[in-house]
Structure 1
Amino acid sequence: MSLRSAVAAPFVGRGETRLAESEFVVALSLDRNWFSPEQATRLADVAVGEGLLDRTDDGLVPTFEPEDVTIPEEFVPSEELLQQRSTFERVIETVVASGVEKREAVAEINQLQSSLGVTVEAAAVLYARRRGVDVSDAAERALDDLDVESVDLS
């Protein structure tokens, strides 16, 4: 199951749209017994990095509707969710979910990167956009990763 399901569970379980980070950690570690408190804190960090949660002065707020996520009773998230994915990995996942074969996508992205002389992230975003796949969040991250101070924009 997905990171989205693991992030939604504390909000759905408590019927809240905002949780203090400590409440989020308790919900995942003590209430559900899915993670240790340290792992639950890491999950919050990953979810913020993935754009699924926003950190505010008074807690964590999901950027999606948690109640729209189906969380099966037997669901137990994998510890793999605790690893933050790169922009490239996010774009590839989105492109593959749209129906493109992973090997084909990676090969074409590598060709774009080589021919345009850009980062692999920029090439992946361009590839996705050419295929009509929305990767606007990843595009913003790829742009943030560029050292725009060293680029002559004039």
Structure 2
Amino acid sequence: MSLRVAVAAPFVQHGTLRLEESEFVVALSLDRDWFSPDQTKRLIDVATREGLLEHDDGDLVATFSPADMTIPEEFVPDEELLRERSAFERVLEALVADGVEKHEAVGAINSLQQDLGVTIEAAAVVYARREGLEVAELVAVARGAIADEE
């Protein structure tokens, strides 16, 4: 399951959009036993870079509505969430969360990549925009991927 669900859990648990970092760490490491405290801090770093969390006066603030998330009873996040994901992976997750079938999105993105002669990240952003999904935070990442290939 997604990074967004794991990040949402402490906010849902406390019924808020803002938590002290220590409360967030306790919620995921001690209360839920999903990660160690160090892994939870890594999760905070990943979620911050991906725009799901912001730091404000020592607190963590969710940039999305955690209350809109469903955290399944049996949900246990994979440690894979702790690694940086490419813009392609992030756009694909957003598309799937928006109801697009994963295999359809991958096929369409691959076709766009070939047709436009751009990176997979750029093609993913173009496809997401065509599908009406706002991915503005990933445009700079896609541009950077284009620059890296030149």
Note whether the superposition's TM-score is higher than 0.5. Answer: yes
Q: Is the aligned partner of 1:22 residue 2:25?
A: no
5+ residue gaps, structure 2, are none
Paired AA for residue 109 in structure 2: I
What SS class does the counterpart of residue 19 from structure 1 fall into? strand
Paired AA for residue 67 in structure 1: A
Q: Deviations over 1:28-52 (max 9, x none)?
A: 1112211111111111111112211
Relative to structure 1, the CA distance from residue 124 to residue 19 in structure 2 (aligned partners, 3 Å threshold; closer, same or farther) is: same
Q: Deviations over 1:106-130 (max 9, x none)?
A: 4553454345443321122123323
Relative to structure 1, the CA distance from residue 70 to residue 109 in structure 2 (aligned partners, 3 Å threshold; closer, same or farther) is: closer
Question: What is aligned with 1:80?
Answer: 80
Distance 1:101 1:76 in 2: 22
Q: Is the aligned partner of 1:99 residue 2:100?
A: yes
Question: What is aligned with 2:122?
Answer: 122
How far did 1:99 drift?
2.8
Taking structure 1 as the reference length, the TM-score comes to: 0.76
Paired AA for residue 100 in structure 2: G
Question: What is aligned with 2:68?
Answer: 68
What SS class does the counterpart of residue 134 from structure 1 fall into? coil
Question: What is aligned with 1:39?
Answer: 39
Question: What is aligned with 2:8?
Answer: 8
Distance 2:101 2:69 in 1: 25
Structure 1 window deviating more from structure 2 (134-143 vs 83-92): it is 134-143
Relative to structure 1, the CA distance from residue 75 to residue 109 in structure 2 (aligned partners, 3 Å threshold; closer, same or farther) is: closer
What SS class does the counterpart of residue 74 from structure 1 fall into? coil
Question: What is aligned with 2:139?
Answer: 139
Structure 1 window deviating more from structure 2 (31-40 vs 5-14): it is 5-14
The sequence identity of aligned pairs, in percent, is 62
Could you say what the CA RMSD is over the residues aligned between the two structures, in angstroms?
2.7
Kept in 1: contact 2:118–2:146 (CA 8 A): no
Number of residues of Structure 1 aligned to a counterpart in Structure 2: 148
Kept in 1: contact 2:54–2:61 (CA 8 A): yes
Paired AA for residue 99 in structure 1: V
Paired AA for residue 13 in structure 1: Q
Taking structure 2 as the reference length, the TM-score comes to: 0.77
What SS class does the counterpart of residue 18 from structure 2 fall into? coil
Relative to structure 1, the CA distance from residue 71 to residue 112 in structure 2 (aligned partners, 3 Å threshold; closer, same or farther) is: closer
Paired AA for residue 40 in structure 1: T
Relative to structure 1, the CA distance from residue 20 to residue 90 in structure 2 (aligned partners, 3 Å threshold; closer, same or farther) is: same
